[in-house]
């Protein structure tokens, strides 16, 4: 196989759509058409993907932090700022 990242990616994503391991194996065999290197690379990607449960299986931020941020925003609200004659930024209540 010539290094063709597009081909590797296409076969990987197409194979990933199949949840049954036997279906994946059959599809991968047909898609690689005897290209052992392509088969090996896609299998390695699938194994890595399955090992972590997919890229979106673990949230980056826990739900508690989202609640905290939402509560903080609701309590304080967005602050509106204006410029005084000297060009300094200040809140509407006059504080700098």
- Structure confidence at residue 89 (pLDDT): 56
Residue 96 lies in a domain: no
- Structure confidence at residue 19 (pLDDT): 87
Residue 64 lies in a domain: yes
- Structure confidence at residue 77 (pLDDT): 46
Residue 89 lies in a domain: no
Contact 32, 42 (CB under 8 A): yes
- Token pair recorded at residue 10: 């296409």
Residue 95 lies in a domain: no
Dist. CA 75–CA 64, nearest whole Å: 16
Q: Does the model's pTM come out above 0.85?
A: no
Nearest alpha carbon to residue 41 among 83, 1, 71, 81: 1
Regions in the chain scoring below 70 on pLDDT: 1-3, 53-66, 69-96
- Structure confidence at residue 45 (pLDDT): 92
- Structure confidence at residue 52 (pLDDT): 75
């Amino acid at each position: 196989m010539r290094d063709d990242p597009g081909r590797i990616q296409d076969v990987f994503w197409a194979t990933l759509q199949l949840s049954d391991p036997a279906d994946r194996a059959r599809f991968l065999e047909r898609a690689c058409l005897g290209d052992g290197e392509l088969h090996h690379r896609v299998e390695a990607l699938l194994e890595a993907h399955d090992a972590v449960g997919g890229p979106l299986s673990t949230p980056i931020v826990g739900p508690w932090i989202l609640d905290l941020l939402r509560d903080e925003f609701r309590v304080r609200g967005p602050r509106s700022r204006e410029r005084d004659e000297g060009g300094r930024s200040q809140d509407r209540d006059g504080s700098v």
